[in-house]
Structures are given as structure tokens and as C-alpha cells.
Amino acid sequence: MKRSYICSLLLCLIISSCTYFINTIDDGEYNVTGIDKDNFSILFSHNINGETHPCGCRHHPLGGLPQVAGVFHEVRKNSDTLYVDSGDTFFASSSIPKTLEKSLSFTARNLAKGLGLLKLAYMLPGEQDLAMGWDFLKELQEKNNFAYLISNPSSSFPLKYKKFAILEKGPHKIFIIGLADPNIFEGKYRGAFNSPFSAINSIRKELVKAGYKKDSPFHRLIALTNSGMDVDTEIAKRFKELDWIIGSHSQSFTKDPVEEGKTKMVQVLSRNHYIGEIQISLDSDKSKDSFTIHETRDEKAKLLEPNPFREFLTTHKEQLSKVQLEEQNAMTVHSTGAQKFNTATSCIECHQAQADHWEQTPHSIAYLTLVKAQEENNLACIKCHSLGLNSLNGFVKAKDIVHFEETDEQKLKKLKDDYMKEIKASFLDFNSVRRLPPKSIQNISKRWQELDKRKGVTHNFANVQCLNCHDKHLEHPFSTSEVEAAPKAKYEAMKTKCLNCHDPDQSIEWYNGKELNESKFIEQMKKVSCPKD
């Protein structure tokens, strides 16, 4: 309790000391905020997809609240800032399974709290943010003191909102609007928004009434959107006054602004891997405005010391793990008697050369990455670090990732607890699985196999194994119906399986933006390909 109190106090003091605004006047439909310093920047994020921290398995981890806090702290040393978000923030999809509602909503609440502590001022909700409905968004707003920015609401829009925001210093006025696209929302939510195109004229009139002058060299007009880059381009063509569009939804990566007329359009991908910054020139030359991308690498967290978000995340992970276990314990799993997948140990009996190679790859101990990152109960992560999740031939709950010979429930519970304690005590003496030498990986892999023999393990579905890549009949090698696929078909099937986990978020070095670099993929696949018999 004491540590948590000190952390919260430090966080409030550190963050609140970063930005000083003269005043904020609530004028009902919009806010007017004064800028104190001579430099001003708009910091923005989008498509965070419910991520509070990197999952721990990326080759070059990016993102995370401590890292974002470090970036913000550095920018705010010399500049007043406004932090905005253009949506798809709290959840990774627009619909979430009932079985995961508790853990995903718990994470969304903590993410909203973290963004609030980072001084999120305005947010344009996206389709994914409505995964838990309007009441959930209302709760997040009330508890975290940011405003939804909606300039094209219909009469049925159910939340408190601001139509636009104004920031001013002397003759300078920066107007910010939010344009939601009803076409991206599910049908039951679509009616809450008017078309951004049909709303342009009424928005123009309201801006003029609030003091906006499109020909003034001291005025800026900036829009948050969630339509994707193609629709943003059309908005820029019809709303020519716009100086900047901060977009989302298409998860584009604009190293330089994409220009349409005088409008500059920017996005910075997803999951807080990057933070965008628009630096507003507070003189009479708008052309001096500039755009910077901040990569949120691990070391950025050190820019703010002490960084209270570290403890914030530690507490979050501990609490989330308990929620996930409770959630999974509530799942009803009926035994079907289905035959289980053959795990790696059964393949080793006949394929020793392939086993020797596999044991030296990070795949063979991939699950330890999750254990080290305190994510061993996170099913969203486990699916790419195991074999057979949610399959009748595999497992459903995190606690059932290892199956034992023991059948007595009390003894089995103790056995599982002792097994995981030994994993944590004996197998985590490393910084990164990927950085371990092959022989060190093999040593851990073999010791793990020895542990399984000692504990009477029948099936260990942890780690990326033979059947994650190879399609084999459950009766292999005794099946008489197996047909060898043609090389091209085999390659395409393998590629699909690899890319299910190694997507642009997890393996950014495999891609050019969102497009797969085929030669890079082949290079990576060769590293884990088994030797021929």
C-alpha cells in the first residue's frame, strides 16, 4: 500500500510538472486553453490496441507506458504539449470473446488510467473502443478526465463530448476537431455519427463563430480522424482549410507527412511503438510547422527517473494474472477423450538430427519468454508460444499447458504448482531467449525435457514445436493416409503458419511497413528449418 501510494504521488508530481497551461475555459461545446511556453507540440497516438507494455517476445521491443512517459518527459522539458489519441485504443478488436471480457476490460481500464496520467486531453473513439459498449467508454472518461472530441455527432450520440478544442497564445489559435467515420462502426453504433463529409459546412460555421480565420497566418486547423488514409485524402480534398490530419484505423506509418493540397496527413502505426509529434511554430510562418516520430525503445524509459510507470506495470501484471486465472477457472471444459497432439518429445524418438537442431532454436524454449515477462497466463500471448491452444487435441486453460500422469486432483494441483516454481527458479537466468547462444538454448531445452520425465509429464504443449510447423496425422508414423504435399504448397502452408504469429507488430524487421519482405522471410525460415533426413 505504501509503495503504491508513493508511486501514485510521484507520478502525479512528475507528470503535472511537465506542462503548464495558463487556463482552460470550458465553453460548453469546446474548450479554450492557454499556452504558457514559447514552444508548443501536439503529441499523438492511435491504434494502441489495448497494449500497456510490450509482450516480451519481440526482437526489438517497442512501446509501453514507461517508454512513452520517458518520451513525453523529454519533450515537455522545453515545450508545452497537448496529448491526443485518434482511436482504436482500448481493445485489439471491435468484438471480444465473453470468456476474456474480465481480463481485457481490466487491461483497458488500466490503460485508460495510464493514458490519463500521461495527460491525455482529447480522444476520438474508434470502432475497437466500443468493444464493451457506450457505458464502458463513459466510465473510462469519468474516471480519467479526458474528453471525447466529436465534431460530427448525431443527435443520438450518448456520451459527453467536445465539438472542438482551441489552444491560444497571443494571436496564435490552434483549432482541433474530431471527425468520426460512421462507416467503420458496427451497425448498432453507426447512427451515433453523421457523415464527416456532410458535416463539413456546419463545422466550418461553428469554427468561424468561435473565431477561426482560414486566411490568418496565426491560425491552425487540425483534425483527428479514424477513417484510414484513403478517406483522409478525400476529407483533405473537401476540407481544404485543414493544416493537419492525425489519422488512425489504417495503421499507416508516415515517416514524412503525406500531403494533399496544403493538408499534411500523419499516422504512426500501432501499439505505442511510436509517438507522433507535430511541432507548431509560434510565429507567422505556418510552413515552419514540423513533424517528428519518436521510437519508444526500452531505453526511453530511462529519460524519466524515477519512472513510476515501472511499478504501475508491475502491479498491473500481478493483478491481471490473477484475473486471467479466475477467468480461465470459470471456463467449462468438457473432456472429449480426443487424442492429444504428439509433442516434441515423441518426435525426438525418430528424428534426432531434427531434434538437435530444434533444441538450439529460440522456438524450443519460447514459452520462457512469457514466464519471464509475467505473461504465462495470458492466452493472447500463449497462442504463439505453444502448441494446440483452443484445440480438442491440445489445451484450453493456461494451467493445463502441461499434462501429467497424476490423476488425483489434490496431488495434481500441488504437482502443477511445484512444476511452475521449478521452471521459474531454474530456467530464467537470461535476459532474452533470442540473445542466448544456441548451445545455451539447447542446454535449457534438454534440462526441461529431463524435468518433464521426473515429474511424469505426458504432454507438454509449451513452446513452438514440430506440429506448429508440420502437418502430420495424429497416428503418424503409423497412419496410411498421409500424402506428401508438393514443395510450393508446403512452403505456402509453412509461410501462413509463420506469419500467424510473426506479423508486422511482432516481427517488424520482416516487413517493409505492412508488406512482407519475402527474401527476409526466407532468410528467417532457413534459420529454423530442420535438416533433411
Q: Parse the chain into domains and list their residue ranges.
A: 2-303, 339-483
CA distance linking residue 388 with residue 462, whole number of Å: 9
Which pLDDT belongs to residue 513? 74
CA distance linking residue 303 with residue 500, whole number of Å: 35
What are 246's strand-pairing partners? 224, 266
Burial class (CB in 10 A: 0-12, 13-18, 19+), 405: exposed
* Identity of the residue numbered 321: S
513: left (phi over 0), alpha (psi -120 to 50) or beta: left
Helix (H, G, I), strand (E, B) or coil at 213: coil
80-85/120-123 β-pairing? parallel
Non-local CB neighbours of 328 within 8 Å, separated by 6+ positions: 377, 379, 396, 397, 398, 399
C-beta contacts of 467-472 below 8 A and 24+ residues apart: 467/341, 467/342, 467/343, 467/387, 467/388, 468/363, 468/387, 468/497, 469/494, 469/497, 469/498, 472/342
Query: Residue-wise over 435-451: b if at least 16 C-beta within 10 A, else e?
Result: ebeeeebbebbeebbeb
First to last CA, the chain: 59
CA distance linking residue 126 with residue 479, whole number of Å: 50
CA distance linking residue 457 with residue 346, whole number of Å: 12
Burial class (CB in 10 A: 0-12, 13-18, 19+), 46: buried
Which pLDDT belongs to residue 283? 86
Tell which CATH architecture fits domain 2-303.
4-Layer Sandwich (3.60)
Which pLDDT belongs to residue 16? 47
Please identify which residue in the block is written with the cell numbers 486453460. Answer: 397
Which pLDDT belongs to residue 18? 46
Which pLDDT belongs to residue 1? 47
Q: pLDDT 10s per residue in the chain (533 long)? A: 445 544 554 455 444 444 445 466 666 788 899 999 999 999 999 999 999 998 777 667 899 999 999 999 999 999 999 999 999 999 999 999 998 999 999 999 999 999 999 999 999 999 999 999 999 999 999 999 899 999 999 999 999 999 999 999 999 999 999 999 999 999 999 999 999 999 999 999 999 999 999 999 999 999 999 999 999 999 999 999 999 999 999 878 899 999 999 999 999 988 999 999 999 999 888 889 999 999 999 999 999 999 999 999 999 999 999 999 999 988 877 666 788 999 999 898 889 999 999 999 999 999 999 999 899 999 989 999 999 999 989 999 999 999 999 999 999 999 999 999 999 999 999 988 988 999 999 999 999 999 999 999 999 999 999 999 888 766 676 665 667 778 888 889 889 999 999 988 788 889 887 789 999 999 999 989 888 76
Q: pTM for the whole thing?
A: 0.85
SS (H, E, C) 235-303: HHHHCCCCCEEECCCCCCECCCCEEECCEEEECECCCCCEEEEEEECCCCCHHHCEEEEEECEHHHHHH
Helix (H, G, I), strand (E, B) or coil at 52: coil
CA distance linking residue 533 with residue 241, whole number of Å: 67
Do the beta carbons of residue 187 and residue 200 sit within 8 Å?
no
Which pLDDT belongs to residue 202? 97
| Cis check: omega of the bond before 477, within 30 degrees of 0 | yes
Do the beta carbons of residue 62 and residue 56 sit within 8 Å?
no
Query: Residue-wise over 166-204: b if at least 16 C-beta within 10 A, else e?
Result: bbbbeebbbbbbbbbbbebbeeebeebbbebeebbeebe
CA distance linking residue 470 with residue 363, whole number of Å: 14
CA distance linking residue 84 with residue 230, whole number of Å: 21
Q: Which three cell numbers stand for residue 271?
A: 501499439
Which pLDDT belongs to residue 349? 81
Do the beta carbons of residue 65 and residue 304 sit within 8 Å?
no
Rg (CA), the chain: 26
